[in-house]
């Protein structure tokens, strides 16, 4: 299957979770949209693009089980969440509850707002290793108090590659009147997602990762009762522009100055690629490879995993490295073995995170295991 992607055939790519990889057929569609734009730029940008954006919103809405008019496109989840933070009516002393597993760039976004407004950021500890969903929810929810206004939590964590029980947390938050903002950057195309059933207030996901769209395609879901409070960070023409809407939300956010929206328009092609290649079957094979990889890493590295039970895993696994690991391990894996895999620090430990996508095989994992044996012996 690797020949269906544009990846370097001589490299072992175990890092799909960072930036994804786009199939040839989807990338060709991307280029086709760019050619249509350049053929008649004025007509395309002032009239045609809005129809095609609606089609893309409707298609991803159907894929996520939500209304396409509750979705906005952004280049990445960081920009999406920053726009939400900018729109919330928060006051000094309000608390934002999150875990210690959240994505660093977005923690920084919250801290910048906290410094400006006087918010309190509470990163609630949960047990390491994580064990049962019930224990996780209980430990996390113990961080809620009368000042908690927002819960910001990852659906699948970036550094630790764990699937969090956000369904239970959203249910509790709804009953308590606490806003929920879910960072689902790694979720679309990775695990099933039903936004309507989840009943969160805001949800952002990246489509360039596991949905295999080109770079620069992400969405933000906004529950309808929050549409009116949204304020764009980039103020443009709004209701005075060419965007037909139909909602004020779309008019305020969809046009933010001249930009190439071709990547957004590839979403229908990315969804078709999955259907044409029976992706649910492909994913099950990937998940089995992840389980085997987790076992091999534990055996080789002789360090304890950060989870108990494969229900915490999707198509990625993060495993702690020994304390004596070389500081340049990631660079050496690439320079000496042509293996692309992230190595990073989390909670004062070095971790390696392996992603398994449809183009990966067990041979790729064996190459990594052999390289680690060689470098760590």
**Tokens 């060709």 sit at which residue?**
28
162 and 247 inside one domain: yes
3-state secondary structure of 186: coil
Helix axes 267-276, 49-64, angle to 10 degrees: 40
Q: What is the mean pLDDT of the chain?
A: 96
The whole-number pLDDT of residue 93 equals 97
What does the pLDDT look like over 112-132, one tens digit per residue? 999 999 999 999 999 999 999
For 180-214, write each residue's pLDDT tens digit. 999 999 999 999 999 999 999 999 999 999 999 99
Check if the beta carbon of residue 184 is closer than 8 Å to that of residue 207: no
Integer angstrom CA distances of residue 186 from 69, 136, 173, 251, 341? 22, 20, 22, 28, 16
Phi-psi region of 180 (alpha: psi -120 to 50; beta: other; left: phi over 0): beta
Q: Do 32 and 17 share a domain, yes or no?
A: no
Tell me, yes or no, whether 129 and 263 share the same domain. yes
Give the mean model confidence (pLDDT) for residues 83-95: 97
Question: Does residue 204 share a domain with residue 287?
Answer: no
Question: How much of the chain exceeds pLDDT 90, in percent?
Answer: 91
- Report the alpha-carbon distance of residue 269 to residue 261 in Å, rounded: 15
What Rg, from alpha-carbon coordinates, does the chain have? Answer: 21
> How many domains in the chain?
2
Task: Return the pLDDT at 241.
Answer: 66
Q: What is the pLDDT of residue 239?
A: 73
Does residue 2 carry a pLDDT above 70?
yes
Is the same domain home to 100 and 119?
yes
pLDDT at 78: 97
User: What mean pLDDT is predicted for residues 46-71?
Assistant: 96
User: Which residue shows structure tokens 């239970």?
Assistant: 168
Q: Which of 81-95, 96-110, 162-176, 236-250 has the lowest mean pLDDT?
A: 236-250
- Alpha carbon distance 375, 358 (integer Å): 27
What's the pLDDT score for residue 255?
85
Written as one string, the DSSP assignment of 18-50 is HH---BHHHHHHHHHHHHHHHHSHHHIIIIIHH
User: What is the reported pTM?
Assistant: 0.96
The CATH number that applies at residue 359 is 3.90.1150.10
Q: What is the Cα–Cα distance from 163 to 264, expressed in whole angstroms?
A: 26
Residues 81 and 174 both lie in one domain: yes
Spatial separation of the C-alpha atoms in residues 22 and 126, rounded to whole Å:
35
User: Which residue among 234, 252, 273 closes a domain?
Assistant: 273
- pLDDT over 80 at 75, yes or no: yes
The domain of 34 spans 27-273
The answer on 366 and 245 residing in a single domain is no
d(CA 240, CA 225): 24
The answer to whether residues 264 and 312 belong to one domain is: no
Pairing of strands 95-99, 120-124: parallel
Out of 273, 298, 319, a domain closes at 273
Does residue 51 sit in the same domain as residue 162? Answer: yes
Q: What is the mean pLDDT of residues 334-357?
A: 96
pLDDT, tens digit, 9 for 90 and up, residues 277-300: 999 999 999 999 999 999 999 999
* Residue range 96-103: mean pLDDT, rounded: 98
106 with 224, same domain: the answer is: yes
Q: Give the domain CATH number at 109.
A: 3.40.640.10
Q: 349-374: per-residue pLDDT in tens? A: 999 999 999 999 999 999 999 999 99
Q: Which of 273, 289, 308 is the last residue of a domain?
A: 273
161 and 248, same domain (yes or no): yes
The answer on pLDDT for 335 being more than 70 is yes
The pLDDT of residue 79 is above 80: yes
DSSP label of 343: E
The pLDDT confidence band at residue 236, using thresholds 50, 70 and 90, is: confident
Backbone φ and ψ of 369, nearest 5°: -60, -45
Q: Which residues contact 38 (CB under 8 A, 6 or more apart)?
A: none
CA distance 245 to 355: 38
**Is 204:224 a contact under the CB 8 Å cutoff?**
no
Helix, strand, or coil (residue 145): coil
Look at residue 18 and tell me whether its pLDDT is greater than 70. yes
97 lies in the same domain as 195: yes
């Amino acid at each position: 299957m690797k020949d269906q992607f544009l990846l370097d055939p001589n490299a072992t790519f175990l890092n799909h979770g960072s930036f994804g990889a786009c199939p040839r057929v989807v990338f060709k569609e991307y280029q086709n949209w760019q050619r249509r734009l350049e053929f008649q730029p004025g007509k395309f940008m002032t009239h045609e693009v809005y129809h095609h954006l609606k089609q893309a919103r409707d298609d991803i809405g159907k894929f996520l089980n939500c209304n396409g008019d509750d979705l906005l496109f952004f280049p990445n989840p960081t920009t999406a969440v920053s726009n939400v933070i900018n729109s919330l009516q928060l006051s000094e002393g309000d608390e934002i509850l999150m875990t210690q597993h959240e994505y660093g760039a977005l923690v920084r976004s919250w801290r910048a707002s906290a410094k400006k407004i006087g918010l309190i950021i509470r990163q609630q500890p949960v047990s390491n290793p994580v064990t049962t969903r019930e224990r996780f929810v209980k430990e996390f929810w113990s961080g809620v108090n009368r000042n908690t206004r927002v819960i910001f939590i990852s659906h699948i964590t970036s550094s630790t590659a764990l699937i969090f029980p956000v369904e239970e947390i959203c249910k509790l938050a709804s009953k308590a009147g606490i806003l929920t903002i879910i960072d689902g950057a790694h979720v679309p195309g990775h695990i099933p997602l039903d936004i309507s059933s989840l009943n969160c207030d805001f949800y952002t996901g990246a489509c360039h990762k596991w949905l295999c769209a080109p770079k620069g395609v992400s969405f933000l879901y906004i529950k309808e009762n929050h549409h009116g409070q949204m304020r764009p960070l980039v103020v443009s023409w709004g209701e005075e522009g060419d965007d037909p809407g139909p909602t004020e939300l779309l008019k305020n956010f969809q046009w933010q100055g001249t930009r190439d929206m071709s990547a957004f328009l590839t979403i229908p092609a990315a969804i078709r690629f999955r259907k044409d290649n029976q992706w649910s079957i492909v994913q099950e094979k990937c998940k089995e490879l992840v389980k085997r990889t987790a076992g091999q890493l534990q055996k080789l590295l002789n360090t304890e995993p950060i989870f108990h039970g494969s229900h915490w895993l999707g198509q990625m696994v993060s495993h702690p490295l020994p304390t004596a690991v070389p500081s340049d391990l990631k660079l050496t894996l690439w320079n000496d073995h042509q293996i692309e895999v992230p190595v990073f620090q989390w909670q004062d430990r070095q971790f390696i995170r392996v992603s398994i996508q449809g183009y990966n095989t067990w041979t790729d994992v064996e190459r990594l295991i052999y390289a680690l044996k060689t470098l760590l012996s």
